[in-house]
Amino acid sequence: MLRKVQRAPELSDVKITDPFWSDIQDLMRETVIPYQADIFEDKIPGQEKSHAIENFKIAAGESDESFYGMVFQDSDVYKWLEAASYALEIAPDPELEEKADAYIDLLGRAQQEDGYLNSYFTAKEPEHRWQDLLECHELYCSGHMIEAAVAYFKATGKKKFLEIAERNADLICRRFGRGDGQRRGVPGHQEIEIALLRLYRLTKNSRYLETAKYFLDERGTEPEYFAEEAKRRDFSHWGMDPDNRKYAQYHAPVREQDSAEGHSVRACYMYTAMADLAAETGDEALMAACRKIWRNITQKRMYVTGGIGSTRYGEAFTVDYDLPNDTIYAETCASVAMVFFARRMLEAEVKGEYADIMEKELFNGVLSGIQLDGKRFFYVNPLEVIPGISGELEEYKHVLPTRPGWYACACCPPNAARLYTSLGRYIWGESETTIYAHLFVGSKASFKDGKVTIKAETNYPQEGGAEYLFSLKQPAPFRFAVRKPHYVKSWKIFLNGSDITEKVEMKDGYAYIERIWADDDRLELRFALECRRIYSNVGVRENAGCVALARGPLIYAFEEADNGPQLSALRIPRTAEILPELESGSRGAHVVLKLQGERLKSGEALYSDVPPAAEAAELKAVPYYAWGNRGAGEMRVWMHESL
């Protein structure tokens, strides 16, 4: 029977010491997290008002102001608290802990007698509590609060936040279900399912598992579900059409869903919970649905950067191979959600493709959401931008050429922060028999109740290869499994200096090395990161005749700052040699790609009998995550190729 085959170690068991990722984590701890707290307290002049902390004060009866912001404004603070918890696991920070404690005290005061906690409904519409599940995000906000509380308890051992969360979760478990005295209902925005599973794992209270399962089992079972809810109420928050069932994935029972539909963040939070529950309970039918959906996303509906969601309408998936580069949505949160989904799939069954996608998102789809200085953020992550069109014309209004400082809907920045501060949870895995290295990240992790420590050293993604140094008090038999990324065509594995490549068992993208491991054992992976050309399936009409460049896990982008305007007039010859070059940037060095290309030139006429002339052009591409850091300019990932 299917069961979670392996788990991630606790954050406290992993210490990241990596040239690339330590820098990102420092950016989160030193800049992003303090900056976001200032935003929530409305201390940054000229930025979009947040009011998130003031809203809780209103709910606690400590402020005379009026609620301001989105109905889900609370969730920004919860995601921040979750990120702050992980930051405290990385390094003690009394100032940050004091701030988090103060927020938590405020949450305690804003919580109602029965456990209800939501600043919008407490402050503004107490009579409408839980009457508009489709639109009003109460269960979503609770979910983020519960996730934060679990993280904070693990980081600090303090119980107050966890008790607030359990009171709220208990209320939800009492209210929702098919039992006596319960009301049926499912969230309009999934998230509570992930949270209840996390709370179950921490507390072992099976009621949380049962309610998570209830929310998934119930979803999509009755077509008129939300339409009937809409009939019962005399108000609407967003005017959503309850018959648009795919938008929030209630078009079919979850086990019958086989393609990625609707709002991409809702969808991937749900798939995450489905994979998690499937592995927890051994539910093969649920896992089968997850596999089909996974295949549909990664083979037909995902951008080469890992971005998902092809349209701004509903921030949603559309149909197979519909992947426009310039009217794209590809919300940062959706890529974050895809990392969650990938990790749950990997915990259920160890396959390299899941870790490959995790890595793709971490280096590309999510990271591009954050300015190199950590103070500006993308919500939408395009693969093509043209100033004057992008962000300006009606169809392109949402695709901005530069990152704004903050958003009225600020879901993405704290979501990225909680992901990168918890990176330690994604690198390693452990089962009864095996220790897994999923990602190449310099780190030290302890396993088998502290009996085994493994130190990984790497200069990824600047260079290929990694080294693993083992520390054991006593020799111990176990398997060590390390992922071979899909883009590594050949590698060598050395154990204590001897080449063991041919003796290693390869399975589903992982190399398995089984032996009695001893102190000071050293395993070395040697492989080069080649510059790669990537081509689209011909079904993706926008990318016909185009090529994208990559090196290792990094996808590359061409920018006007390096290549001049009219990037669509550039051609990359199929045979051109691509040269990687280390270049120092505003935040550390990164590898840029250089090549000899062509620029097409035409006359003034709109149409002409004369084909454009081609002239030689020195071209340069930067890692996709680094685009948009040098002012507004054109950017393009898919480049026309010449044969």
Which residue lies nearer to Zn ion by CB, 412 or 593?
A: 412
State the minimum distance, in angstroms, from the CB of residue 311 to Zn ion: 15
Which residue lies nearer to Zn ion by CB, 248 or 619?
A: 248
CA 286 from centroid of its chain's CA atoms: 22
What does the DSSP 8-state code read for residue 635?
A: E
By the 8 A CB rule, do 355 and 346 touch?
A: yes
Residue 416 parent element (H or E)? helix 412-421
Which residue lies nearer to Zn ion by CB, 324 or 414?
A: 414
Q: Does 192 bind Zn ion (CB under 5 A)?
A: no
Q: Is 411 a catalytic residue?
A: yes
State the minimum distance, in angstroms, from the CB of residue 143 to Zn ion: 15
Which residue lies nearer to Zn ion by CB, 362 or 547?
A: 362
Which residue lies nearer to Zn ion by CB, 336 or 591?
A: 336
Residue with tokens 């915990």, as numbered in its chain: 347
State the minimum distance, in angstroms, from the CB of residue 333 to Zn ion: 3
3-state secondary structure 251-312: CCCHHHCCCCCCEHHHHHHHHHHHHHHHHHHCCHHHHHHHHHHHHHHHHHCECCCCCECCEC
Under 8 Å CB-to-CB from 553, ≥6 apart: which residues? Answer: 359, 360, 363, 364, 460, 461, 485, 487
Distance CA 208, CA 53 (A): 28
In angstroms, how far is the first alpha carbon of the chain from the final one? 52
Distance CA 14, CA 426 (A): 10
By the 8 A CB rule, do 264 and 308 touch?
A: yes
Residue with tokens 């899941």, as numbered in its chain: 354
By the 8 A CB rule, do 642 and 574 touch?
A: yes
Alpha-carbon torsion (233, 236, 239, 245), positive or negative: negative
Site for Zn ion in 103-162 (CB under 5 A): none
Alpha-carbon torsion (502, 504, 505, 507), positive or negative: negative
Angle between helices 74-90 and 138-156 (to 10 degrees): 20
Distance CA 369, CA 364 (A): 9
State the minimum distance, in angstroms, from the CB of residue 575 to Zn ion: 41
Which residue lies nearer to Zn ion by CB, 246 or 263?
A: 263
Catalytic residue among 315, 359, 559, 634: 315
State the minimum distance, in angstroms, from the CB of residue 412 to Zn ion: 3
Residue 556's φ and ψ, nearest 5 degrees, are: -110, 155
Under 8 Å CB-to-CB from 630, ≥6 apart: which residues? Answer: 559, 561
The number of residues that bind Zn ion (CB under 5 A) is 4
State the minimum distance, in angstroms, from the CB of residue 607 to Zn ion: 42
State the minimum distance, in angstroms, from the CB of residue 262 to Zn ion: 15
Instruction: Please name which of 187, 247, 180 lies closest in space to residue 214, comparing C-alpha atoms.
Output: 187
Instruction: Please name which of 289, 369, 359 lies closest in space to residue 28, comparing C-alpha atoms.
Output: 369
Q: Is 173 a catalytic residue?
A: no
State the minimum distance, in angstroms, from the CB of residue 315 to Zn ion: 8
Quote the tokens at residue 368. Answer: 């591009």
Q: Give SS3 for 507.
A: strand
Which residue lies nearer to Zn ion by CB, 88 or 412?
A: 412
Under 8 Å CB-to-CB from 24, ≥6 apart: which residues? Answer: 367, 420, 423
State the minimum distance, in angstroms, from the CB of residue 331 to Zn ion: 5
Distance CA 54, CA 60 (A): 10
What does the DSSP 8-state code read for residue 583?
A: E
Quote the tokens at residue 7. Answer: 């788990």
Catalytic residue among 136, 411, 412, 546: 411
State the minimum distance, in angstroms, from the CB of residue 293 to Zn ion: 20
Which residue lies nearer to Zn ion by CB, 87 or 411?
A: 411
Site for Zn ion in 284-343 (CB under 5 A): 331, 333
Distance CA 58, CA 287 (A): 43
State the minimum distance, in angstroms, from the CB of residue 78 to Zn ion: 14
State the minimum distance, in angstroms, from the CB of residue 268 to Zn ion: 11
Site for Zn ion in 383-422 (CB under 5 A): 411-412
Distance CA 88, CA 93 (A): 6
Residues recorded for the chain: 643
Residue nearest to Zn ion (CB): 333
- Radius of gyration for the chain, computed over Cα atoms and rounded to the nearest angstrom: 25
Residue type, position 122, single letter:
T
By the 8 A CB rule, do 46 and 32 touch?
A: no
DSSP characters over 384-407: EE-BTTBTTSGGGTT--SS--S--
Active site residues: 315, 411
- Give the binding site for Zn ion (CB under 5 A): 331, 333, 411-412
